Amino acid sequence: MAIPRFSSLLRSRKFAKSDCLVASIGFVLIVFFLSFFFDPTSDSVPSVDRSPPIKSPPDLVKLTLSSKAKERGAFCLDGSLPGYHFHKGSGSGSKSWLLHLEGGGWCSTVASCSARAMTMLGSSTYFEDEVDFQGVLSSDPSQNPEFFNWNRVKIRYCDGASFAGHPEAEFKNGTRLFFRGQLIWEAIMDELLSMGMSDAKQGILTGCSAGGLATLIHCDYFRDHLPKDAAVKCVSDGGFFLNVPDVLGHPTMRSFYHDVVNLQGVDKSLDQNCVAKPEPSKCMFPQSFVNNIKTPVFLVNPAYDFWQIQNVLVPASTDLDKSWAKCRLNIKECDAAQMKVLHGFRSSLMDAIGKFHQNKAGGMFIDSCFSHCQTLMSATWHSPTSTRIENKTIAESVGDWYFNRKPVKLIDCPYPCNPSCYNLNFT
């Protein structure tokens, strides 16, 4: 299985600073999502501060490797074919489509991309034959009341640049790595359009983490390729990464994105008005381009995003004396001084979405949980005990916004005010 292979790789290699960041990204997301969903007895599984609801039987959906990828030159990092999982819609949802872009970090160097190419985040060789559709992808109306009978697609992530890399960049490194994220996105879009999405009446593009960022990058492309009279919107989950210095004042995330953009030629997929400015890598940060997206966007983001706290605000390289060790892994272990820093991080998010908040077509659900992706699990998307703001679950809030029932601009009070949060504990 890919998890032990990747974790042993992490133990045996010496990584540069940027490689350490991508290693932590890949490892945390692989272990968290796979172990949390499929192996609840694993020692790697983070706990939560209250019991999740009883899970319904698995909704397993088979893998399809793209039939159009080879002719388009669309390959995963290792040259294998990209893929997706498709659950056909029915009844009133037969002409409605929901596409979910998988997340899993990025790679910024030849070494880290080569390591990634030996995992499910860089090669379809390691993809599961079936995955469980939960949350926004579920076919259970009790879990997913608005979109349960839509055509639902999970697009697998195997390029390392939020579906935005370009093959021209491959000539820089002389390796057999394929930087084809943009082509993967276009090839699978073409395939889905030929399968009936070209007649869609309703459409949603969504994604988690790096897939949430990809959702924002490709939102207008998605809108432009569906019928003009279709109701098309985008929902980014945990994808609003902040351009802020770490606790030592270093631009860790900005430097990392700079390397991703340069290595994989991502600038060609980014907002071109933004890219025209001096530093294209800044255009990877949603605050730089979200207000230029023409299609209506909904942001789902925790104000105390554990991934960003662990990798953007307090990366391991800044905590050599281990003073943040407990706080990074469990927000309940943070002392008063550390909570002041975390509240400052929340304030940075509020500042970054300030202008977007005035966007009449936009929506948001910004809770105060120590969490990351929240739309993929029924426990956080929609269940009797789900996270709520103003007594609304994320699913209810997205539904109200998508179907224009009411404006939705929900921003939680600061931690620890919301007892409905699923705060993860990595200790």
- Token code pair at residue 323: 């003073």
For the question of residue 372 being annotated catalytic, the response is: yes
**Residue 119, phi then psi, degrees to nearest 5:** -135, 175
- Specify the DSSP class assigned to residue 392: B
- Token code pair at residue 206: 């969504």
**Torsion sign, CA atoms 271, 254, 210, 331:** negative
d(CA 217, CA 229): 22
- Token code pair at residue 66: 């793209």
For the question of residue 138 being annotated catalytic, the response is: no
For the question of residue 382 being annotated catalytic, the response is: no
* Secondary element (H or E) of residue 215: helix 210-224
Direct distance between the N- and C-terminal alpha carbons of the chain, in angstroms, rounded to an integer: 24
d(CA 334, CA 425): 12
Residue 224 pairs with which residues in a beta bridge?
A: none
Beta pairing class for 151-155 and 83-87: antiparallel
- Specify the DSSP class assigned to residue 265: T
d(CA 241, CA 286): 7
Residue in 85, 166, 218, 372 annotated catalytic: 372
d(CA 334, CA 74): 45
Sequence-ordered strand ranges (E) for 197-243: 202-208, 231-237
3-state secondary structure 112-172: HHHHHCCCCCCCHHHCCCEEECCHHHCCCCCCCCCCCCCEEEEECCCCCCCCCCCHHHHHH
Residue in 305, 368, 371, 383 annotated catalytic: 305
- Specify the DSSP class assigned to residue 389: B
- Token code pair at residue 31: 């272990």
Beta pairing class for 424-425 and 60-65: unpaired
d(CA 195, CA 187): 13
Residue in 209, 236, 378, 386 annotated catalytic: 209
- Token code pair at residue 388: 């709520």
Q: Please, how many CA atoms are within 13 Å of residue 234, restricted to the half-sphere of its CB?
A: 26
Q: Which residues are catalytic?
A: 209, 305, 372
